[in-house]
Structure 1
Amino acid sequence: MSKTNLRRLGLAAMTGAALALAGCATPFRADVARFQTQLPAPQGQSFAIEAANPALQGGIEFSQYASLVAGELTRYGYRPAAPGEKADLVVRMDYGIDKGRERVVSSPGFGDPWYGGYGFNRGFYRPMVIRGPNGRRYVHGWYDPWYWGGFGPGWGYNDVQSYTVYTSGLDLQIDRAADGHRLFEGHAQAQSRSNDLQQLVPNLVEAMFTGFPGNSGERVRITVAPPEKR
């Protein structure tokens, strides 16, 4: 088989593999920092959830996210305060996303994927490995595993591409209702290609409550699997 035909065969295989990978959901990663002091062990204490931003209080969207937090707290042994009941704990929640920033990436170039070398110089990118007709393994294409919501710089040869990266965040504070004493503070932040809060906030909530309440002062990276893999 000629070198030209081998190249065409290789590119066809790479294209098919790229499309297959593009259809796969990517995990969500968030950096979570949590601080606590005298947070009571869950023994059925009641809680009420409020919006840190008064403009969000009573909104349908806020209520949707608050129900996720309530579900997590209930799972850990706390309980929602009954109507008219004074809660033991007050939980304040805030969330948001920035306007995004552009990131420009230039692909390093791979040359001839069948007979030449490749300029793979970004260690945190994961290569796509393809086995050629002669049994050898070749590397082509890459994606950025840290930016949830799609591939990073894309696929191609010696091209320059730009895309928008958004930073989303979730803040959570728990106070003792009797005297307002702060018991817990949590901050979760993530970068993504998506700015859809309806997808991002549930992931941030799950990251916040993974290993809750955590070690005070510790910052950890939490990986949330796609829904179909949970």
Structure 2
Amino acid sequence: MKRWTIAMLMAVSTVLLGGCATGTIRSSVTAFHEWPATLPSKSYVFERTKEQNDSLEYRSYENLVRNELARLGFEEAPASVKPALKASLSYNISSRDVREVQPVVVHPYPYWYGPAWRGYYRPFYGPFYDPFWYAPPVVEQRVSQYTLFTRQLKIQLAEMAGGKKLYETTVVSEGTNSSLAAVMPYMVRSAFTDFPGPSGVPRRVELKLEQ
């Protein structure tokens, strides 16, 4: 009985530790590309819709993409220079209600609990003296309800002349945070992780949240 109880406690601890996945943003990233071995120029401009051009939120996310492109050696072309590439991005967020039923291991009573006949002057009972210490735990069903948000980001790089697409990536991230602005920096970084990466191969990118 003692060995069984210890094994069960270890299993419960493992489940609890495995569930502590806070502090990270996980994204599913899929990129399709026909990236050339060499590019004559890495100059680019952003191509915006009218709605995007009037959106402060969009411009904030555009700056995130601009920083990542600069890290990869791309240069935003000034107005006087004809760029070789054009970049575009779009994003959205949706939500759905989730209901989960999970088994939870609960001890039927704590170690200090005992029958009433022990009385006021009952002695201390430890694992080697209390016959109720090793009682098997009880599995209860716990119901949890929450809203799950799906955040999606799409980024494209295409040739300015002719509009041939060279790179397009889709980033999908799910979580309980409803703020797209809070998650977007990590999604943009995930979009360009190992750029250009394998074409058409879904990847899982995990980034630690910065304090």
Indicate conservation of the 8 Å contact 1:27/1:223, yes or no. Answer: yes
Correspondent of 1:61 among 39, 57, 62? 57
1:108 aligns with 2:103: yes
Report the alpha carbon displacement of residue 58 of structure 1 after superposing the two structures with TM: 3.7
- 2:197 partner amino acid: G
SS in 1 for 2:104: coil
Identity of aligned residues (%): 25
- State how far apart, in whole Å, the 2-side matches of 1:113 and 1:85 are: 75
SS in 2 for 1:108: strand
- State how far apart, in whole Å, the 1-side matches of 2:25 and 2:170 are: 16
Query: In structure 2, do the counterparts of structure 1 residues 112 and 41 end up closer, same or farther at CA, with 3 Å as the change threshold?
Result: farther
Report the alpha carbon displacement of residue 166 of structure 1 after superposing the two structures with TM: 0.8
- State how far apart, in whole Å, the 2-side matches of 1:74 and 1:42 are: 15
Query: In structure 2, do the counterparts of structure 1 residues 58 and 87 end up closer, same or farther at CA, with 3 Å as the change threshold?
Result: farther
Report the alpha carbon displacement of residue 111 of structure 1 after superposing the two structures with TM: 2.5
Report the alpha carbon displacement of residue 222 of structure 1 after superposing the two structures with TM: 0.3
Query: In structure 2, do the counterparts of structure 1 residues 179 and 47 end up closer, same or farther at CA, with 3 Å as the change threshold?
Result: same
1:182 aligns with 2:165: yes
- TM-score w.r.t. length of structure 1: 0.66
- Worse-matched range after superposition: 160-169 or 41-50: 41-50
Correspondent of 1:82 among 73, 78, 81? 78
Note the aligned Cα RMSD (angstroms).
Answer: 3.0
SS in 1 for 2:157: strand
Residues 136-155 of structure 1 show CA distances to partners (whole Å, capped at 9, x for unaligned) of xxxxxxxxxxxxxxxxxxxx
- 1:112 partner amino acid: H
Structure 2 equivalent of residue 38 of structure 1:
35
- 1:74 partner amino acid: A
1:213 aligns with 2:196: yes
- State how far apart, in whole Å, the 1-side matches of 2:163 and 2:52 are: 21
Gaps of 5+ in 2: 1-12, 112-125, 128-139
- State how far apart, in whole Å, the 2-side matches of 1:204 and 1:226 are: 12
Indicate conservation of the 8 Å contact 1:34/1:215, yes or no. Answer: yes
SS in 2 for 1:67: helix
Query: In structure 2, do the counterparts of structure 1 residues 60 and 39 end up closer, same or farther at CA, with 3 Å as the change threshold?
Result: farther
Indicate conservation of the 8 Å contact 2:41/2:84, yes or no. Answer: no
- State how far apart, in whole Å, the 2-side matches of 1:40 and 1:73 are: 17
- State how far apart, in whole Å, the 2-side matches of 1:210 and 1:38 are: 15
Query: In structure 2, do the counterparts of structure 1 residues 114 and 209 end up closer, same or farther at CA, with 3 Å as the change threshold?
Result: farther
- State how far apart, in whole Å, the 1-side matches of 2:109 and 2:191 are: 46
Residues 192-224 of structure 1 show CA distances to partners (whole Å, capped at 9, x for unaligned) of 101211112111101101111111111100001
Count of aligned pairs = 171
SS in 1 for 2:173: strand
Q: Which has the higher contact order (CA 8 A, sep 6+)?
A: 2
Query: In structure 2, do the counterparts of structure 1 residues 91 and 191 end up closer, same or farther at CA, with 3 Å as the change threshold?
Result: same
SS in 2 for 1:107: strand
Indicate conservation of the 8 Å contact 1:42/1:78, yes or no. Answer: no
- State how far apart, in whole Å, the 2-side matches of 1:107 and 1:214 are: 38
Query: In structure 2, do the counterparts of structure 1 residues 89 and 32 end up closer, same or farther at CA, with 3 Å as the change threshold?
Result: same
Report the alpha carbon displacement of residue 34 of structure 1 after superposing the two structures with TM: 0.4
- TM-score w.r.t. length of structure 2: 0.71
Moved over 3 A (4+): 38-44, 113-116
- State how far apart, in whole Å, the 2-side matches of 1:174 and 1:83 are: 19
1:97 aligns with 2:97: no
Indicate conservation of the 8 Å contact 1:65/1:201, yes or no. Answer: yes
- State how far apart, in whole Å, the 1-side matches of 2:109 and 2:36 are: 60
SS in 2 for 1:223: strand
Report the alpha carbon displacement of residue 96 of structure 1 after superposing the two structures with TM: 1.0
